[in-house]
Structure 1
């Protein structure tokens, strides 16, 4: 059973996480549909304890005491451990192999793989590193990371052909990444392994930064026949993992 006062504290924090410019007591009350008198008492109590702060415009923002709590929470989260139950459910729904990868020192590293009983043979395994420009997971990072970081990575990357389908033109790759951003997920169309088709989506953390990417991979013919259905489940899964890591969509 939820405790109303605790629930309201959480709602205030979530509200101010979205409204980073700050809100007055009246604005918080109206946004959350709380009575103004009880909102005033709640906000002033949280501010007195250091969980909120008031700026010169009398707007309330998240306070410094939350920094230590947030840091401790981030340190206690293991992205792959948090994601694995969701990846297992994803595999069961789409009946294809699913992966999770992280970026480590500008390299793509696989941290999880959940096979399906009809999985395609692939060289991708947990602990392995793969090129960032020609894998679905890598292209998801390139598509959704900050522009400056993407340009830095591509400036230092040779677009070598891995298969006959690998994109080796910077201009063509940039176009592909722009398309990925529009649809919300990246595609690897036999660019790293012949016959393998992959859809990959970003996972965000509580700091609103991309923490990982997840993907569904399988034989091209089987994947393309169900592409829209797989993409829908993939994106829903990425949102669930992101929420579990503290990400709040604006």
Structure 2
């Protein structure tokens, strides 16, 4: 059952878009209706409006709906303007080349992980994370690392939104285990994924912080237990920290493009 927002018509329409996207394939109206909180006439009206606005695309032969091309254009603009990806891309490419492993770039989307970019190792490994995917925060290196450094008044709110589904024998099983892990990450300065989300997948993750300590996102070096171990990944922490610092510096320069010019001219 989809969740109904309290944001009026726009919020409800976005819920329908989310529902279509969540199927991950072309979907029939009857399938949407089976999972929708809206009555049939209301859902049909939303679907027709979204299709007319090119936010959904309709295939008359298959009688199915998919996210529309207008969404693709908006998503591309959001990727360029609202994510760290364009700024961080050269840095994570260089890091992946140096360490020979996959590098992820992520940001928090409410209490969950949004993977915004990924550079594969020379010998890539099949894994869940792909740019644009949402993942759990409590059992991923980037997720836990971001949670560890967000403002204290947000931590408990984010913990309350975790599902604590057990993916592997190493998955953290509840709020207290996560709180303890977050304390360790804050002390250490970086986090790990110890096969907590996917068997055989491990990583070390570093937060990307502003000068004031605000969390912009996180990066990770990811490998498999077949070709590396946590100690081997931890050896990459200096490079990971240097990369995170460089990304943070570039974010600041991008946010304040005239900063250096004003200083030079006394403005």
Residues in 1 aligned to 2:159 and 2:117: alpha-carbon distance in whole angstroms:
25
Q: Where does residue 155 of structure 1 map in the other structure?
A: 160
- Answer yes or no: is 1:235 the counterpart of 2:241: yes
**Matched position secondary structure for 2:252:** coil
4+ residue segments displaced more than 4 Å: 75-78
Q: 1:139 aligns with which of 139, 144, 157?
A: 144
Superposed displacement of residue 206, structure 1 = 6.1
Using structure 1 for the length normalisation, give the TM-score.
0.64
Q: 1:226 aligns with which of 232, 235, 242?
A: 232
Residues in 2 aligned to 1:112 and 1:78: alpha-carbon distance in whole angstroms:
9
Q: 1:168 aligns with which of 170, 173, 197?
A: 173
Superposed displacement of residue 231, structure 1 = 1.5
Residues in 2 aligned to 1:110 and 1:100: alpha-carbon distance in whole angstroms:
6
**Matches for 1:188-203 after TM superposition, within 5 Å:** 188-203=193-208
Residues in 1 aligned to 2:238 and 2:114: alpha-carbon distance in whole angstroms:
25
Superposed displacement of residue 107, structure 1 = 2.4
**Matches for 1:1-250 after TM superposition, within 5 Å:** 79-205=84-210, 208-220=213-225, 222-246=228-252
Aligned residues: 173
Superposed displacement of residue 204, structure 1 = 2.3
What's the Cα RMSD here? Answer: 2.0
Superposed displacement of residue 241, structure 1 = 0.7
- Alpha carbons 2:204, 2:234 under 8 Å: kept: no
- Alpha carbons 2:172, 2:178 under 8 Å: kept: yes
**Relative contact order (C-alpha < 8 Å, sep 6+): which is higher?**
1
Using structure 2 for the length normalisation, give the TM-score.
0.60
- Alpha carbons 1:206, 1:245 under 8 Å: kept: no
